[in-house]
């Protein structure tokens, strides 16, 4: 017997791959037969499909989510001496992109739910600010209207970090369709995941799309003529071929995540953990289902002991990361981000998560029997 059969997995990318065979294998085989491994047919096709999915004009395939943010910043000519504002409770890649272009990441606290705090962003604007980088963390689009209004008044670019929000909807529009640019990651465990690293920049702006196509490919539009920084950030054709097979399933996978989130809410209400805010239809695609636990580390250890995998996103807020200490934000600067880092616990969440597993997680947290067992 599989020794892990009893384990409640945090995420199981294999489960999804199994359901899509042999289509994925066939798609990879086609690329092998065509031999167009670099910027091949599947890249162009997937770019078109992803742009249509997001409801934007252009999508440019790149090698990671970080690269998508970095190339947007480069295209905006943001660099040394410039400031870019983002929130202290995000993955390191968000600020990594800002650092990669030599600009200064300016951090602000999130609101009490971990979403963008527009007032905090406004207070952080200086003469040097060039862009705002809101993060749709965990799959939830925060107050993007507020961000857009502020950016419009202050003359700033908005670059959405949509790396956790594939398909999230706000006012009938999809993540990625709000900012001047938006970045997606197709890291394997994301809501839409490749078989390795992959990413995408989306935009309505013709010039931006053209510039990023040039920047991702050694700064060249014409072969062997290099007019910008010679970098390689291309999306692999094989990754694009895999993503093309998966994309038609993304909406139903996100529906399933929302269904599972509702099931968690039902089982966990009145229990010892704080639940994520319930949002209007579609706004949250639950890349992660994150609860707030008073004694997070003890609860996590107890779950582990019962064969339940969990995650923490993220245990150290950015300003406390060793690599960012030089930014000069002492501990205590961002109370919401610090509280969230100390108490967040990410529960198992992936579309194929069996309901029986979800029930086990809920029971382990609340100490109650689930309804199913009571019946």
Q: Which residues bind ligand PLP (CB under 6 A)?
A: 64-66, 90-91, 93-94, 135, 161, 163-164, 185, 187, 197, 199
Question: How does strand 157-161 pair with strand 181-185?
Answer: parallel
143 or 161, CB closer to ligand PLP?
161
Task: Return the C-alpha torsion angle 89, 64, 133, 74, nearest 10.
Answer: 140
Closest Cα partner for 273 from 345, 356, 371?
A: 345
- Any idea how long the chain is? 375
Smallest separation (angstroms) from ligand PLP to the CB of 318: 11
Strands (E), 142-276: 157-161, 169-170, 173-174, 181-185, 199-203
Per DSSP, the three-state class of 69 is helix
131 or 163, CB closer to ligand PLP?
163
Which pair of structure tokens corresponds to residue 364?
A: 């382990």
Quick one: angle between helices 23-34 and 237-246, nearest 10? 150
Residues sharing a CB contact under 8 Å with residue 5, sequence separation 6 or more, in sequence order: none
Smallest separation (angstroms) from ligand PLP to the CB of 248: 22
199 or 348, CB closer to ligand PLP?
199
- Is residue 201 within a helix (H) or strand (E), and if so which, with residue range? strand 199-203
Q: Which residue is nearest to ligand PLP (CB)?
A: 65
320 or 365, CB closer to ligand PLP?
320
Phi/psi of residue 108, each to 5°?
-135, 160
Which CA distances in Å does 181 have to 23, 43, 56, 73, 208? 32, 19, 10, 9, 8
Smallest separation (angstroms) from ligand PLP to the CB of 274: 21
Smallest separation (angstroms) from ligand PLP to the CB of 63: 8
Smallest separation (angstroms) from ligand PLP to the CB of 126: 24
54 or 365, CB closer to ligand PLP?
54
62 or 78, CB closer to ligand PLP?
62
User: What distance lies between CA 322 and its chain's CA centroid?
Assistant: 23
Which pair of structure tokens corresponds to residue 172?
A: 């009938």
Which pair of structure tokens corresponds to residue 354?
A: 């069996």
Q: Rounded to a whole number, what is the distance in angstroms from the first to the last CA of the chain? A: 30
7 or 312, CB closer to ligand PLP?
312
Smallest separation (angstroms) from ligand PLP to the CB of 54: 16
90 or 211, CB closer to ligand PLP?
90
Smallest separation (angstroms) from ligand PLP to the CB of 93: 4
Smallest separation (angstroms) from ligand PLP to the CB of 175: 12
Smallest separation (angstroms) from ligand PLP to the CB of 135: 5
Quick one: angle between helices 41-54 and 237-246, nearest 10? 40
Per the listing, tokens 């092998």 go with 32
- DSSP single-letter state for residue 87: E
83 or 161, CB closer to ligand PLP?
161
């Amino acid at each position: 017997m599989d020794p892990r059969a009893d384990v409640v997995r945090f995420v199981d990318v294999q489960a999804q791959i199994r359901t899509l065979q042999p289509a994925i294998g066939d798609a990879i085989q086609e690329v092998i037969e065509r031999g167009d491994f670099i910027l091949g047919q599947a890249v162009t096709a997937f770019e078109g499909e992803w742009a249509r999915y997001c409801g934007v004009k252009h999508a440019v395939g790149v090698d990671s989510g970080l690269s998508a943010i970095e190339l947007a910043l480069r295209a905006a000519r943001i660099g040394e001496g410039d400031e870019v504002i983002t929130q202290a409770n995000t993955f390191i890649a968000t600020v990594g992109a800002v650092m990669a272009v030599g600009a200064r990441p300016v951090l602000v606290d999130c609101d009490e739910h971990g979403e963008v705090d527009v007032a905090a962003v406004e207070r952080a604007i200086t003469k040097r600010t060039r862009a705002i980088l809101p993060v749709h963390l965990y799959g939830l689009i925060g107050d993007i209207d507020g961000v857009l209004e502020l950016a419009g008044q202050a003359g700033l670019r908005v670059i959405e970090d949509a790396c956790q929000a594939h398909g999230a909807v706000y006012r009938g529009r999809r993540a990625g369709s709000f900012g001047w640019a938006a970045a997606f990651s197709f890291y394997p465990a994301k809501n839409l995941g490749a078989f390795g690293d992959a990413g995408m920049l989306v935009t309505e702006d013709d010039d931006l799309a053209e510039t990023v196509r040039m920047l991702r490919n050694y700064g060249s539009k014409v072969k062997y003529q290099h007019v910008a920084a010679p970098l390689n950030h291309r999306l692999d054709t094989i990754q694009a071929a895999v993503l093309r097979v998966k994309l038609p399933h993304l909406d139903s996978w996100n529906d399933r995540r929302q269904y599972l989130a509702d099931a968690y809410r039902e089982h966990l209400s009145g229990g010892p953990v704080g639940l994520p805010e319930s949002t209007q239809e579609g706004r949250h695609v639950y890349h992660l289902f994150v609860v707030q636990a008073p004694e997070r580390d003890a609860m996590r250890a107890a779950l582990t002991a019962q064969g339940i995998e969990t995650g923490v996103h993220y245990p150290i807020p950015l300003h406390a990361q060793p690599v960012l200490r030089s930014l000069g934000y002492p501990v205590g600067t961002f109370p919401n981000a610090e509280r969230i880092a100390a108490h967040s616990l990410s529960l198992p969440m992936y579309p194929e998560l069996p309901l029986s597993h979800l029930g086990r997680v809920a029971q382990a947290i609340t100490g109650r029997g689930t309804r199913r067992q009571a019946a």
